Amino acid sequence: MLEKQNLLGLTQVKLKKFFSDLNEKPFRTKQIMQWIYHQGALDFGDMHNFSKDLRQKLQAIASIELPEVTSINNSKDGVIKWVIKLGEENHIETVYIPQKDRGTLCISSQVGCSLACTFCSTGYQGFNRNLQNHEIIAQVLIAQNHLKDKNKRISNVVFMGMGEPLLNESPVYDACDILLDDWAFGLSRRRVTVSSSGIVPALKRMSDTVPVSLAISLHAPNDELRDILVPINKKYPIKELMKACHYYLNAGTQERHVMFEYVMLKGVNDSIEQAQELSKLINFWFQGESAKVNLIPFNPFPETKYTTSNDIAIDKFQDILYRSGIRTTTRRTRGDDVDAACGQLAGKVVDKSRRSAGRD
């Protein structure tokens, strides 16, 4: 018996081909996307503008399946974390962060992560596999269906959960396509952000493929320190990364922006000298261009050797960047009481990389 085609996560182009192969008219694509993403329908039987024959045919060969949610954790500050089971005892985590003017959903792109950034809880879990299209989009649909009952909405989606998005390119690009599609979630390109540790060749491909916002996990002002904090830097050092960011800014016809994320680690990367070095780096490469820095107070997890920079150090660091003309913000820690803050997402990963076994 053939496995049913899960229609969740198929782009408009792929759905048109699916219906064409069934000798159905192209307008069926718009209908089913609106049923799934606007109405939250998961049963073909509920799609009353389809003929009975088409509904029966779809039930025989296709499905709209969401993975199992094993727990929903509500933080005291309004953050919501979903733990989602993906078989083989693997779990990923998805986080909703409500703010006064928006609601941001942080989604995962892999089960675990292979990059081993030393300050990130996900990196300590090892790596199992990439997520498929439908598993990425399922996170958004699960959250959207849950939030509707609470009169809350998703205004922004960020690929800042578990995994490195640019090591799972095709599914991530398809997911971005669906997030931007008016027949699906209809988000603007500036409200969808892909965060990368700096996979330079993929970053260039993304620049030409999906017109979304870019965040770069920088975390150090020089190669010597970044080699330790973000080991992929040994393969794609800062100079190559900065060139790729320039390529991104100048790709396409619409104005683009790049945000550099910088986690604040006490006594590691938070000194006045390092702030001055970072300001020189950013100004050298992006003088007069649309780039900003987002300082992130480190969020501890059990296995870590790092501690969080104190407020005075963070304020001084931000002030140096600001005085050098760099737009700089400090991210407020949210959801840390349910381990949903930045860098704390761990899920449950059956590690196939054998890396987690070697941790001390």
Residues serving a catalytic function are 93, 342
Q: Which residues does residue 80 pair with via DSSP β-bridges, in sequence order?
A: 74, 96
Which tokens in the block code for residue 297? 């107070």
Beta-sheet strands, E only, within the chain: 5-6, 62-63, 68-74, 80-85, 91-98, 103-106, 110-112, 127-130, 156-159, 192-196, 213-217, 258-264, 291-297, 327-330
Which residues lie across from 91 on neighbouring strands? 85, 348
H or E element: which one contains 143?
A: helix 133-148
- CB contact burial 231-270 (16+ within 10 A = b; e otherwise): ebbeebbbeebbebbbebbeeeeeebbbbbbbbbbeebbb
Please state, in angstroms and rounded to a whole number, the distance separating the CA atoms of residues 138 and 66: 6
Do residues 92 and 192 lie in contact, with contact meaning Cβ atoms separated by under 8 Å? no
Beta strands in 2-126 (DSSP E): 5-6, 62-63, 68-74, 80-85, 91-98, 103-106, 110-112
